[in-house]
A = this chain, B = another copy of it.
Amino acid sequence: MTSPVRIYGDTRSGNCLKVKWTADHLAIPYEWHDVDVLKGETRTEDFLAINPAGQVPCLERPDGRILAQSNAIIFHLARDSKLVPQDDFDQAKMLEWMFWEQYSHEPFIAVRRFRRAFLNLADDEINPDLMAKGRRALGVMEMRLLSRDFIVGDGLTLADIALVAYTRVADEGGFDLDEFLGVRAWIARVENELEIDPDEGRVNPLA
């Protein structure tokens, strides 16, 4: 019997939840190893030996090899599953949205949520760029999702998993999702496919 992979992560981080959801959805066995980002556990000598970039999530394979970056990890786990389109162009399109998520979405939506919900900063203590650029990202998604059920192709792919992670909790960052009805409907659809409890990973459970 092969040993399971080990996942190093913090369950309050959307980037880490992407990996958990992908493994759960594909029924890939894993050991979860908690790393508390707020307590500085990604900056200890022990952790930096695992990932010199000092970030979670990380995947450790049974052969000891380590993989970092949430979107690279889920690509590796889902490589031969329906979550990755086999068509070359669709696969690249999926990666397009995953790169876009890390560059044009996460740094604004996830970061504003972190400052507001975890650091308890007031709205006027948060750089207004984060709201403007986060709303712009939600607008780009809304345009994409008004005419389709999933980000790429006809079914759930890694692009949906990558993007839903912080979009579903954007309200905790002060974003009003009622402005983006196509996005809201898509969140419900993806949570349903992944069997995510709507309260999972939320600082403030829904009423």
Contacts and interface: CB of A to CB of B under 8 A. Distances in A.
A61 B93 CA distance: 13
Nearest to A77: B92
Interface residues of A, number: 33
A99 B18 CA distance: 15
Q: Kindly name the residue among A65, A73, A103, A107 whose own CB sees the greatest number of chain B CB atoms within 10 A.
A: A103
Interface in A174-195: none
A65 B96 CA distance: 13
A66 to B, nearest CB: 9
B72 A96 contact: yes
Contacts of A89: 61, 65, 67, 76
A131 interface: no
B102 A103 contact: yes
Interface in A54-92: 55, 61, 65, 67-73, 75-76, 79, 88-89, 91-92
Nearest to A76: B92
Q: Please give the count of copies of this chain that the complex contains.
A: 2
B76 A99 contact: no
Contact of A71 (B65, B79, B93, B95): B95
A69 B97 CA distance: 8
Interface in A30-58: 52-53, 55
Nearest to A104: B53
Given A76-B89, A93-B67, A103 B103 contact: yes
Interface in A140-155: 140, 143-144
Given A72-B93, A98-B99, A99-B102, 20 more contacts: A52-B140, A52-B143, A53-B100, A53-B104, A53-B140, A65-B89, A68-B100, A69-B95, A69-B96, A69-B103, A72-B92, A72-B96, A72-B99, A73-B96, A76-B88, A76-B92, A79-B92, A95-B95, A102-B102, A102-B103
Interface of A: 52-53, 55, 61, 65, 67-73, 75-76, 79, 88-89, 91-93, 95-96, 98-100, 102-104, 106-107, 140, 143-144
